[in-house]
């Protein structure tokens, strides 16, 4: 059955959805720690440079590719050259893997929204999270059966996400972004204001913002800045290619990219002020230094924050609900975007209806996510997350940029496409950033990641676990991409007509 | 707060939030111009 291609209801809706995609859990629980570890206030310098020389250029590149081809990632690459469809599937594969555990984390967040009422985690949030809530097993290969609290919460998140995606692009994803993103900003602003008024907040802000300019002479700080910008803006997931393919023909692409990139980075800077002001409060209450209480990721959200909430002088439950509610909204808007790129990809490849594509993607992903809802789930989540981010996304981003800049030489074509419909024209800086700076820095980031991996074993996990769930997954994804490329489309053709090329002919 | 931290706070605020505000203003002024142009075309 031929369905009309989905389209955003308006440009503002697209921008909010793209911001919703970019702003995720990492903005709240990763950036503050990365900034603290890499020079404090001085980290802003490499961070700004990474934003301008890599983040924004790659974002514009993906917008241009999706908008010109009017296709999801596999057919967007195929529209330039049939040989490169697999790259789009590799990106979708990475998104699929991320989604299998990301939705479980959102399930934890949902549970903690409930536990916030009356601070049900008690006086020892660490024990509550690992033993009572997750029921964590003693070692990696002990799966331990299902943890039903986690299964229930994940199922509720799945049901809501599925419902949004079934409603379509404008009535589902866009509507959710229009409601959730402004609410999220208000919630984080309230958290920051409350944090700044707590005793000890200044101590935290001093640690976060005091510049250590010697740190920026350390190459690892630059690697951290470029890594943070790439993970944070959400490029190389194929999301931005898919989202821009739903835009009307006449849309200002460059201004949209600047707004999305700056909203994302501005949000994480704001969140960092909130996180470090409350960490300063916690350190003051416990008579400790910030170094003793600072943490990131799961430890920050599910252990440190409950401790902070316990210490607050009043309205503890409300603050908990605000914090976990903000994480929930940030997670949901990112989750729908990660799934949408796969839904669009299989819909085009196999000529499915939207409903069928949503059923297939959500069904398969929900099945896979069961692994992380077991009692050993946190171990598997940690390994898969580490490898998909460090070796999946960075490598796929490098291949994407090198392919479009050097192999297929599409930068001028895409630059013209952007400039024909944008008030802000992109100049040669964009070509140099993508052709030279971004590939070199991505190679350096990859080199660091490989060096660290080969010299230090990640976590205390068994080598068999790292090989099967880490390296196995990272190597398996491009292979699956090749297999999907070899499968003939249901109608035998590509829907992408925008790029105007056949085989490997250059435009 | 110490002086270095205040300066970096200002740099972050002006660079990220100030830049964002400028691009948002640009977005709405462009939308207004487009709406005016469409209105003139339809007349």
What are the tokens at A257?
């990219």
A40 — phi, psi (to 5°)? 60, -125
Give, rounded to a whole angstrom, the gap between the first and last alpha carbons of chain B: 59
pLDDT by residue, tens only, chain A of 507 residues: 556 778 898 889 999 999 999 999 989 988 998 988 888 889 999 999 999 999 999 999 999 999 999 999 999 999 999 999 999 999 999 999 999 999 999 999 999 999 999 999 999 999 999 999 999 999 999 999 999 999 999 999 999 999 999 999 999 999 999 999 999 999 999 999 999 999 999 999 999 999 889 988 888 888 888 888 888 898 888 999 999 999 988 888 999 999 999 999 999 999 999 999 999 999 999 999 988 888 888 889 999 999 999 999 989 999 999 999 999 999 999 999 999 999 999 999 999 999 999 999 999 999 999 999 999 999 999 999 989 888 888 899 999 999 999 999 999 999 999 999 888 899 999 999 999 999 998 899 889 889 988 898 888 899 999 999 999 999 999 999 999 999 987 665 555 544 544 343 332
How far is CA A373 from its chain centroid?
Answer: 20
Tell which of A19, A181, A259, A426 to mutate to test the B interface (max B CBs under 10 Å): A259
Instruction: Judge: A269–B27 Cβ closer than 8 Å, yes or no.
Output: no
Contact residues, chain B, for A263 at CB < 8 Å: 20
Task: Inform me whether the C-beta atom of residue B18 falls under 8 Å from chain A C-beta atoms.
Answer: no
The structure's pTM equals 0.92
Instruction: Judge: B27–A255 Cβ closer than 8 Å, yes or no.
Output: yes
- Contact indicator for A238, A92 with CB cutoff of 8 Å: yes
Contact residues, chain A, for B11 at CB < 8 Å: 41, 44
Closest CA to A272 of A6, A33, A3, A38: A33
Exposure of A483 by Cβ count < 10 A (0-12 exposed, 13-18 middle, 19+ buried)?
A: exposed
User: What CA–CA distance (Å, rounded) separates A328 from A474?
Assistant: 28
Closest CA to A204 of A309, A305, A312, A278: A278
User: What CA–CA distance (Å, rounded) separates A311 from A419?
Assistant: 53
Cα-trace Rg, chain A: 22
Instruction: Judge: A266–B20 Cβ closer than 8 Å, yes or no.
Output: yes
Contact residues, chain A, for B12 at CB < 8 Å: 41, 44, 209, 269
**Domains (range + CATH), chain A:** 11-486 (1.20.1740.10)
Contact residues, chain B, for A206 at CB < 8 Å: 1-2, 5
């Amino acid at each position: 059955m031929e369905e009309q291609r989905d389209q955003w209801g308006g440009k503002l809706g697209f921008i909010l959805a793209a911001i919703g995609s970019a702003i995720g859990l990492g903005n709240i629980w990763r950036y503050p720690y990365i900034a603290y570890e890499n020079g404090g206030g001085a980290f802003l310098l490499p961070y700004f440079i990474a934003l301008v020389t890599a983040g924004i250029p790659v974002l514009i590149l993906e917008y241009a590719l999706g908008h010109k081809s009017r296709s999801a990632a596999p057919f967007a690459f195929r529209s330039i050259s049939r040989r490169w469809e697999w790259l789009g599937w590799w990106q979708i594969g990475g998104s699929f893997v991320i989604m299998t555990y990301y939705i479980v984390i959102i399930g934890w967040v949902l549970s903690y929204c409930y536990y916030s009422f009356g601070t049900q985690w008690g006086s020892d949030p660490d024990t509550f999270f690992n033993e009572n809530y997750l029921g964590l097993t003693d070692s990696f290969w002990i799966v331990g059966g299902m943890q039903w609290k986690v299964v229930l919460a994940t199922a509720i998140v799945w049901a809501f996400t599925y419902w949004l995606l079934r409603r379509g692009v404008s009535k589902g994803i866009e509507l959710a972004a229009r409601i959730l993103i402004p609410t999220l900003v208000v919630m984080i602003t309230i958290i920051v204001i409350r944090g700044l008024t707590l005793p000890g907040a200044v101590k935290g802000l001093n640690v976060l913002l005091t510049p250590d300019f010697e740190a920026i002479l350390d190459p690892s700080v630059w690697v951290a800045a470029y890594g943070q910008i790439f993970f944070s803006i959400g490029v190389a997931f194929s999301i931005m290619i898919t989202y821009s393919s739903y835009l009307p023909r006449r849309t200002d692409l460059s201004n949209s990219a600047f707004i999305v990139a700056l909203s994302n980075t501005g949000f994480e800077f704001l969140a960092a002020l909130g996180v470090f002001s409350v960490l300063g409060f916690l350190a003051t209450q416990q008579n400790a230094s910030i170094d003793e209480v600072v943490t990131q990721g799961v430890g920050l959200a599910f252990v440190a924050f409950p401790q902070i909430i316990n210490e607050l002088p009043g309205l503890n439950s409300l603050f908990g609900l605000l914090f976990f509610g903000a994480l929930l909204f940030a997670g949901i808007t990112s989750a729908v975007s990660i799934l949408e790129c796969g839904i669009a990809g299989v819909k085009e490849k196999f000529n499915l209806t939207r409903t069928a594509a949503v059923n297939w993607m959500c069904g398969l992903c929900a099945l896979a996510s069961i692994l992380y809802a077991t009692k050993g789930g946190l171990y598997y989540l940690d390994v898969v997350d580490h490898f998909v981010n460090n070796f999946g996304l960075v490598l796929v981003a490098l291949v994407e940029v090198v392919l479009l800049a050097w192999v297929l030489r599409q930068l001028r074509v895409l630059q013209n496409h952007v400039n024909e419909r944008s008030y802000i024209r992109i100049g040669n800086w964009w070509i140099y950033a993508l052709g030279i700076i971004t590939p070199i820095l991505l190679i350096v980031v990859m080199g660091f990641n490989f060096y660290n991996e080969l010299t230090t074993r990640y976590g205390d996990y068994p080598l068999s676990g790292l090989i099967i769930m880490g390296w196995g997954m990272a190597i398996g994804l491009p292979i699956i991409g090749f297999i999907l490329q070899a499968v003939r489309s249901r109608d035998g053709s590509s829907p992408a007509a925008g790029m105007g090329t056949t085989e490997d002919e250059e435009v | 707060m110490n002086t270095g931290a205040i300066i970096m706070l200002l740099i972050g605020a002006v660079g990220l939030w100030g830049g964002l505000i400028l691009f948002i203003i640009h977005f709405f002024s462009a939308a207004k111009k487009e709406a005016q142009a469409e209105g003139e075309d339809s007349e």
